[in-house]
Structure 1
Amino acid sequence: MVEAAIHGFVLALGLILPLGVQNVFVFNQGALHRRFVAALPAVLTASVCDMILISLAVLGVSVVVLGSVWVKTVLLGAGLLFLLYMGWVTWHSTPGANGNEAARTFTPRKQVAFAASVSLLNPHAIMDTVGVIGTSSLGYAGVEKLVFSVTCIAVSWIWFAGLALAGRITGELDKSGRFMTILNKLSAIVMWGAAVYIGRMLFA
């Protein structure tokens, strides 16, 4: 069981660490709001979505679903359009002093919608979950498989909470809003880059 837990921890951390749309969005929400609790909708949604994807991957359900060509096409198309839109919104977000102006842009409902979209409409993240975590889970059974899965899920929950907290600290230090303005531009570029990647997959 210890081996399964360590394997799940290292694997999940390795997949979640690279800079991606999901990480950028959660960090931004932590930075843009004055209180950490205000960013919880983004944190909880991203964590729950990852939990669902990991569970489906371990159970093998996602392999069957993604085996359908039209499902992949719809997923890629929706992801492409959403990332283009989200990049535009992020690029034009202009934090004022204390980042309060931009914070109004992301209401709890928008946070949930955006976090769910960048989690569930991100083919790259889904393929990683299915291909890496799903495949790795095949080496375990019974309690060990459960431990492996729970560890992967726990890493996501802790990571997103920590990411939002790091964003909150950064936002607190950035009183002028200049850093957040630059970060918004970089975030938009990351999102558009992901959109281009998806577009290549869609039209290849």
Structure 2
Amino acid sequence: MEMAFLQGFGLGGSLVVAVGAQNAFILKQGLKQSHPLLIAALCSCIDALMITFGVLGFGRVVVAFPVIINVARIGGALFLFTYGAHALYMSFQHSRKLSTDMKQVESIPRVLLLTLGLSLLNPSLYLDTVLLLGSISVQFQGVERVLFAVGAIMASLGWFFSLSFGTKYLSPAFNQPQAWVYLDRAICLIMWSIALILMAPYILAS
């Protein structure tokens, strides 16, 4: 049983720590101390729900209805391109600092919408959690399958909360406006690169 949990934890952790749009967003919001607890909790809940769906066999639904992935690809690409453009624009605001009076905490509705968009409009969420983890879980039965899912969920939860709150130790470096310039432009590059990857099948097919 311990092996099922450890395998779920290892696989879940290896999938969630990859640098991507969601993690870049969590990093920036954590540095700004803009609702890090809410963001970590929402991302963890989404992952937990998708992992549970995968273990319960809902991966067959995604395979039967590939339109789900297509909608996520196109919608996600547009969302990421827009977010990347905003990050690029913000990188030219050289006077910004991360200080007690200039953290630019965003409204809760905006943070919720951005978190949901970066999570649900990401095909990797369905491919990794629902399909990949779901297909691997079939080797386990009964309690072992539950422990496999719990291990993957715990890895996801631990990563999101560590990323959200661990970034506060980087805050002193971001008292320099130039650090925000580099961060925003790196986020723009990540967002646009992922958007291009998402649209690559359609571009190559045309």
TM-score normalized by the length of structure 1 = 0.89
2:128 match: 128
**More deviation in 85-94 or 13-22?**
85-94
Identify the match of residue 79 of structure 1 among 76, 79, 83: 76
Cα distance in 2, alignment partners of residues 132 and 167 from structure 1: 29
SS at match of 2:98: helix
3-state SS, counterpart of residue 64 of structure 2? coil
| Distance across 2 between alignment mates of 1:71 and 1:108 | 28
Whether the aligned pair in 1 keeps the contact of 2:98 and 2:174 (CA below 8 Å) is yes
The 3 A distance-change label for structure 1 pair 107 and 92 is farther
Matched, 1:53 2:44: no
For 2:2 and 2:137, how far apart are their aligned partners in 1?
14
Pick closer, same or farther for the CA change 1:180–1:147 going to 2, 3 Å. same
Report the CA distance between 1:131 and its aligned residue: 3.3
**Percent of aligned positions that are identical:** 26
Is 1:12–1:156's contact at 8 Å kept on the other side of the alignment?
A: yes
The answer for the alignment partner of 1:6 in structure 2 is: 6
Counterpart in 2 of 1:114? 114
The alpha carbon displacement at 1:32 in A equals 1.5
CA distance in 2, matches of 1:107, 1:171: 21
Residue identity opposite 2:183 in structure 1: L
Alpha-carbon distance in structure 1 between the residues aligned to 2:57 and 2:20? 25
Higher mean Cα deviation, 154-163 or 107-116? 107-116
Per-residue deviation, 1:180 = 2.5
Q: Identify the residue that residue 161 of structure 1 maps to in structure 2.
A: 161
1:4 and 1:78 mapped to 2: Cα distance?
35
Question: Within 2, Cα distance between the matches of 1:121 and 1:114?
Answer: 10
Equivalent residue of 1:146, what SS? helix
Identify the residue that residue 21 of structure 2 maps to in structure 1: 21
Instruction: Using the TM superposition, give the Cα deviation of residue 86 of structure 1 relative to its aligned residue in structure 2, in angstroms.
Output: 1.1
Q: Deviations over 1:58-112 (max 9, x none)?
A: 11113313431333322221111111111112222347122665634x3222221
Is there any run of 5+ residues in structure 2 with no aligned partner, and where?
Answer: none
* Match of residue 171 from structure 1: 171
Q: Measured at CA, do residues 77 and 102 of structure 1 come closer, stay the same or move farther in structure 2, by a change above 3 Å?
A: farther
Structure-2-length-normalised TM-score:
0.88
Runs of 5+ in structure 1 lacking a partner?
none
Query: C-alpha root-mean-square deviation of aligned residues, in Å?
Result: 2.0
Equivalenced residue count is: 200
Give the Cα–Cα distance (whole angstroms) in 1 for the partners of residues 196 and 182 of structure 2.
21
Contact 2:21 2:118 in 1 (8 A): yes
